[in-house]
């Protein structure tokens, strides 16, 4: 009983439903992510197009996620999530059909990925703000950590299944399976008793947008966390987009090896999420975030220089642990610091810097990779992340003194 009490969020029926539904759905999403990267690289043999398609998926988040935060504060979150999950089925299904018919082009992939990104711009802020209504403030960190465990457990399972599916069944099968996986979350949401409260009152789009941004700017600790998240999203996390290049050109590992590389980062992230869920609350969250950021940055540097498949796997496990520890702790720190009426909008800003500015980073690193090589581009990214993490840690030490 002592161990199960470490995961109190799972005692809430609605959270259990949501968690299991997310685990299935996210496994399908990671399958599609791997299949999508392999498809684009097969069509173009270009890291530039890998970055371009990845940017197409996150550009709508940059454009629309702040409005998604307003919707999350104005509407019942469960209803909004039911709509977004249902809409997510279409792009995955169309990708499967077009790939199966052998008529798919890189521009069609980019368009369908952009459609899914638009849906995610409304889905992600609502989902993040929904946790506290499922479990309350007392168990929020546990819920976020468990949700992250589901996300990164799927990140570990999905890519491995995708690599095997691509190698032994077919590429389109990954897209079809992802389309089916969204029904798991839809069924879970439909069985919930929690409807999702409406905390915000309509005050006009401009005023509502500014309220969330002004709260962040007026809270220095949150503001600094948002800035380092932006740096990681712009520079650090882009390495995932270029894993097909590392798998084929650097490590000579093939599609199944590509799946294992992505799965290794997921394994590290999963171990971090389980550690946080078991550990419970952290007394010095900012210090933990600083050390986690440094762990990610140095691991990324070693990965970029590695020519050995197994060393690359180990460094990706460490990188996954570091970045997951940082983001989960940052998420809980921000949510516990924000008023209920602003949570959707503040989390939309979090989503904006976490995912929304990634198109700029993917495009930028894609151009650099074409010019100087993918490994050199990722090495440069890692060095910038190390410098950013060091500044964040030094700032923490000064503030503590």
Cα 353 to Cα 95: distance, rounded to the nearest angstrom: 28
- Write down the pLDDT at residue 83: 94
pTM of the predicted structure, to 2 decimals:
0.75
SS3 state of residue 46: coil
208: pLDDT strictly greater than 80: no
DSSP state of 75: S
Sequence-ordered list of residues with C-beta below 8 angstroms from that of 356, at least 6 positions apart, any chain: 58, 59, 61, 62, 63, 65, 121, 233
Band of residue 3 on the pLDDT scale cut at 50, 70, 90: very low
Q: What is the mean pLDDT of the chain?
A: 84
Cα 337 to Cα 211: distance, rounded to the nearest angstrom: 15
221-245: pLDDT as tens digits: 888 888 898 889 888 888 887 888 8
- Write down the pLDDT at residue 4: 46
- Write down the pLDDT at residue 2: 39
Task: Name the more confident of 154 and 304.
Answer: 304
Cα 310 to Cα 306: distance, rounded to the nearest angstrom: 9
SS3 state of residue 107: helix
Domains, the chain, with CATH or none: 4-191+204-400 (1.20.1250.20)
- Write down the pLDDT at residue 197: 61
Task: Name the more confident of 93 and 352.
Answer: 93
Query: Which is nearest to 162 in space by CA: 20, 22, 258?
Result: 258
- Write down the pLDDT at residue 195: 63
Band of residue 181 on the pLDDT scale cut at 50, 70, 90: very high
Q: Give me the mean pLDDT over the 346-357 stretch.
A: 82
Q: Give me the mean pLDDT over the 38-59 stretch.
A: 81
Percent of the chain with pLDDT over 70: 94
166: pLDDT strictly greater than 90: no
């Amino acid at each position: 009983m002592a161990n199960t009490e470490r995961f109190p969020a799972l005692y809430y029926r609605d959270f259990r439903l949501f968690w299991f539904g997310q685990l299935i759905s996210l496994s399908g999403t990671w399958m599609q992510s791997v299949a999508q990267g392999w498809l684009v690289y097969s069509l173009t043999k270009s890291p530039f197009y890998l970055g371009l398609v990845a940017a197409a998926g996150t550009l709508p988040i940059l454009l629309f996620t702040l409005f998604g935060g307003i919707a999350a504060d104005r509407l019942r979150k469960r209803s909004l999530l039911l709509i977004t999950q249902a809409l997510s089925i279409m792009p995955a299904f169309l990708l499967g059909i077009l790939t199966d018919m052998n008529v798919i082009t890189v521009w069609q992939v980019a368009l369908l990925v952009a459609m899914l990104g638009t849906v995610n711009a409304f889905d992600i802020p609502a989902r993040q703000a929904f946790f506290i209504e499922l479990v309350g403030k007392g168990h929020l960190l546990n819920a976020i950590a468990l949700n992250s465990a589901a996300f990164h457990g799927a990140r570990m399972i999905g890519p491995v299944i995708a690599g095997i599916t691509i190698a032994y069944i077919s590429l389109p099968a990954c897209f079809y399976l992802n389309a089916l996986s969204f029904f798991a979350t839809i069924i879970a949401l439909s069985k919930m008793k929690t409807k999702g409260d409406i905390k915000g009152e309509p005050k006009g789009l401009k005023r509502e947008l500014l309220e969330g941004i002004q709260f962040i700017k007026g809270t220095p600790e949150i503001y600094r966390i948002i800035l380092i998240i932006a740096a990681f999203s712009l520079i650090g996390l882009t390495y995932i987009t270029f894993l097909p290049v590392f798998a084929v050109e650097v490590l000579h590992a093939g599609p199944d090896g590509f799946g294992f590389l992505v799965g290794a980062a997921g394994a590290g992230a999963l171990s971090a999420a389980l550690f946080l869920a078991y550990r419970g609350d952290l007394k010095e969250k900012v210090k933990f975030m600083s050390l986690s950021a440094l762990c990610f940055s140095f691991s990324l540097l070693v990965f970029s220089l590695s020519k050995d498949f197994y060393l690359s796997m180990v460094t990706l496990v460490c990188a996954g642990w570091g970045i997951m520890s940082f983001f989960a702790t940052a998420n809980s720190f921000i949510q516990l610091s924000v008023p209920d009426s602003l949570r959707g909008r503040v989390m939309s800003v979090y989503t904006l810097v976490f995912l929304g500015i990634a198109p700029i980073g993917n495009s930028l690193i894609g151009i650099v990779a074409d010019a100087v090589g993918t490994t050199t581009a990722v090495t440069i990214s890692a060095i910038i992340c190390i410098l950013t993490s060091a500044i964040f840690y030094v700032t923490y030490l000064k503030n503590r003194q």
